[in-house]
């Protein structure tokens, strides 16, 4: 499918580089929205997932998945939930394992390709709806796309999806986020990931290579020692190759929009696959010049974020 040449997004002048575009909404955006109805569901392996419901009494459901070390209460999650709620959707946001109010029970955490948990959420939440739609941010975007590729046509209620700021190719994007200019981000992610490993080791004594923490300097190191082996992969490289959503795009059978800003500091060149885009029937790509990573701040603070506008347009109207 040809690239969508949409030039409607223009960043505020004071957010004059990609880092400001990324950091400002992450730290300073506030979303005033109603309190969710909380639910905890069990997973087949004896664990649990924490869900936040925003119910309108409608027959259309939007399920939103967050990014690395995010949760259901991040501003970008609430902003998207509020926008769709006001457009007559029921909305569900959910927390990956270890990202909610309680640490999960099993030794494993969450990861970029853990589609079994998204499957559990969709199967549980979608049973009372006529139509189900998906939105995923960053890691949650990769998870969403991989899930759609794996499921193909198995879930007839799934109608459309949107993935925002997606590291389609995990290996090269991991290298990008660990580059010197992105030290601020990688250190922040590593700090909270290491804290979770310590908590997990206390609940599962002797089952975590806790001594390896002193060797971890990059996200790839963390994935080499923890994410990969804990989830059944030999190392980070195998984990990245098996779970990169770029390898599942040609199997997606419903209209899907990928919104990646050209100046996203987290994404490698492999996350803008122009030649592949032209060969796909159901996947649409849009590359705004600006936007940062999970940014897309509007010039007018009274307006919704561009990512929210585009998600609503794509899901309710078309391309």
- The predicted model gives 190-207 an average pLDDT of 94
Nearest-CA neighbor of 177 among 80, 264, 288, 238?
Answer: 264
The question of whether 18 is a catalytic residue gets the answer no
Taken in order 273, 276, 278, 282, is the CA torsion positive or negative? negative
Q: Where are the beta strands (DSSP E) in the chain?
A: 37-42, 48-54, 60-65, 90-95, 131-137, 158-164, 256-259, 283-286
| Catalytic annotation, pick one of 90, 117, 224, 264 | 264
For residue 177, pLDDT beyond 70: yes
Confidence of residue 4 (pLDDT cuts 50, 70, 90): confident
First CA to last CA across the chain, in angstroms?
Answer: 11
pTM: 0.97
Confidence of residue 57 (pLDDT cuts 50, 70, 90): very high
Token couple for 280: 């796909």
The residue ranges of every structural domain in the chain are 18-169+244-316
Nearby residues of 311 by Cβ (< 8 Å), 6 or more positions away: 80, 83, 84, 135, 162, 164, 257, 259
pLDDT for position 2: 66
The question of whether 138 is a catalytic residue gets the answer yes
| Catalytic annotation, pick one of 72, 138, 165, 307 | 138
Q: If DSSP codes are grouped into helix, strand and coil, which group holds residue 137?
A: strand
Nearest-CA neighbor of 25 among 96, 100, 78, 97?
Answer: 78
Three-state SS across 202-263?
A: HHCCCCCCHHHHHHCCCHHHHHHHHHHHHCCCCCHHHHHHHHCHHHCHHHCCCCEEEECCCC
The question of whether 59 is a catalytic residue gets the answer no
Chain mean pLDDT for the chain: 95
pLDDT for position 1: 61
Q: If DSSP codes are grouped into helix, strand and coil, which group holds residue 42?
A: strand
Confidence of residue 302 (pLDDT cuts 50, 70, 90): confident
**CATH code of the domain occupying 18-169+244-316:** 3.40.50.1820
Neighbour order of strands in the sheet with 158-164:
37-42, 48-54, 90-95, 60-65, 131-137, 158-164, 256-259, 283-286
Q: If DSSP codes are grouped into helix, strand and coil, which group holds residue 53?
A: strand
| 54 to 92, 96, 162, 164, 273: CA distances (angstroms) | 6, 18, 19, 21, 35
Note the pLDDT tens digit of each residue in 6-32: 778 999 999 999 999 999 999 999 999
Nearest-CA neighbor of 79 among 124, 28, 38, 13?
Answer: 28
Token couple for 302: 């009274």
pLDDT for position 148: 97
Confidence of residue 154 (pLDDT cuts 50, 70, 90): confident
- Residues 136, 163: contact at Cβ < 8 Å? yes
Nearby residues of 258 by Cβ (< 8 Å), 6 or more positions away: 141, 145, 162, 163, 166, 168, 283, 284, 285, 286
Taken in order 74, 309, 65, 165, is the CA torsion positive or negative? negative
pLDDT for position 133: 98
């Amino acid at each position: 499918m040809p690239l969508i040449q949409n030039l409607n997004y223009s960043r505020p002048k004071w957010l004059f580089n990609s880092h400001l575009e990324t950091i400002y909404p992450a730290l300073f955006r506030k979303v005033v929205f109603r309190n969710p109805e909380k639910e905890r569901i069990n997973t087949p392996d004896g664990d649990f997932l924490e869900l936040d419901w925003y119910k309108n009494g409608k027959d259309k459901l939007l399920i939103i998945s967050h990014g690395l070390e995010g949760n259901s209460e991040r501003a970008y999650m609430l902003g998207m939930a509020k926008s769709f709620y006001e457009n007559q959707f029921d909305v569900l946001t959910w927390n990956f394992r270890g990202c909610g109010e309680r640490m999960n029970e099993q030794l494993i955490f969450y990861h970029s390709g853990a589609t079994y948990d998204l499957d559990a959420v969709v199967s549980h939440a979608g049973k009372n709806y006529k139509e189900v739609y998906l939105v995923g941010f960053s890691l949650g975007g990769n998870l969403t796309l991989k899930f759609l590729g794996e499921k193909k046509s198995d879930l007839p209620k799934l109608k459309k999806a949107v993935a925002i700021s997606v590291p389609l190719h995990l290996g090269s994007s991991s290298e990008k986020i660990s580059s010197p200019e992105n030290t601020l981000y990688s250190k922040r992610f590593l700090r909270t990931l290491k804290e979770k490993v310590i908590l997990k080791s206390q609940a599962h004594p002797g089952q975590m290579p806790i001594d390896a923490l002193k060797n971890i300097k990059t996200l790839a190191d963390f994935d080499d020692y923890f994410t990969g082996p804990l989830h059944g992969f030999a190392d980070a490289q195998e984990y990245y190759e098996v779970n990169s959503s770029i390898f599942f795009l040609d199997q997606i059978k419903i209209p899907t929009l990928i919104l990646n800003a050209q100046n996203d500091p987290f994404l490698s060149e492999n996350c803008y696959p122009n030649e592949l885009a032209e060969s796909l029937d159901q996947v649409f790509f849009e590359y705004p010049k600006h936007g940062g990573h999970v940014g897309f701040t509007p010039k007018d603070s009274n307006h919704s974020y561009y990512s929210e506008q585009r998600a609503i347009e794509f899901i309710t109207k078309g391309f």
